[in-house]
Amino acid sequence: MRRCFLSVSRFLPLALGFALAASLIPQHASAGGFYLTDRGVQAMAQGGAFVAGATGAEALWYNPAGLGGSNRSLRFEGMATFLNASFTRIDDGGTTRPTATLKQPFLPIPLLGGTENFGSKSWTLGAALYAPNSQTYNWPRQGA
């Protein structure tokens, strides 16, 4: 019978030591992008907690289970995100480049929807036309 060269009691501290050493090595970090706001005034006011209480046409976006308490409703709303952003670039040699400024076109985001239960307490019909909250970013080309 052969005996294993690395037993678990020897391997575990070695693996933990390598994991600790690897986690201490500096890494390059990249940004993930901008957060775009929620749809509607009430959802923004509740800071993400609106999902549980969404009713009416907004329930189609946040939580379709909220249609059950919607009865009859009609909703029309529009939103637009205005973002002002700029940054000053510094290249690898330490040279400061011109400031890059975002040129953002106006992009309206609509929602038109309604719900109807036809007097029934057991179901509600809902329909909506909407677009997800998005934005177009027009940064200058490299070297501009």
Residue corresponding to tokens 């990249």:
30
Burial 49-84 (b: 16+ CB within 10 A, else e): ebeeebbbbbbbbbeeebbeebeebebeeebeeeee
What is the structure's pLDDT at 130? 84
Q: In this predicted model, what pLDDT tens digit does every residue of 117-139 receive, in sequence order?
A: 888 888 889 999 988 777 777 77
User: What CA–CA distance (Å, rounded) separates 136 from 102?
Assistant: 10
Question: Per-block average pLDDT, block size 10, for the chain (144 residues)?
Answer: 61 86 78 69 80 85 85 86 82 87 84 89 88 78 60
Of the candidates 140, 76, 85, the residue with the CA atom closest to the CA atom of residue 108: 76
10-29 core/surface letters (b: 16 or more CB in 10 A; e: else): eeeeeeeeeeeeeeeeeeee
Cα end-to-end span (Å), the chain: 71
- The residue ranges of every structural domain in the chain are 37-144
Joined together, the tokens standing for residue 47 give 């800071």
Please tell me the pTM assigned to this model.
0.56
User: Which backbone phi and psi does 71 adopt, to 5 degrees?
Assistant: 55, -125
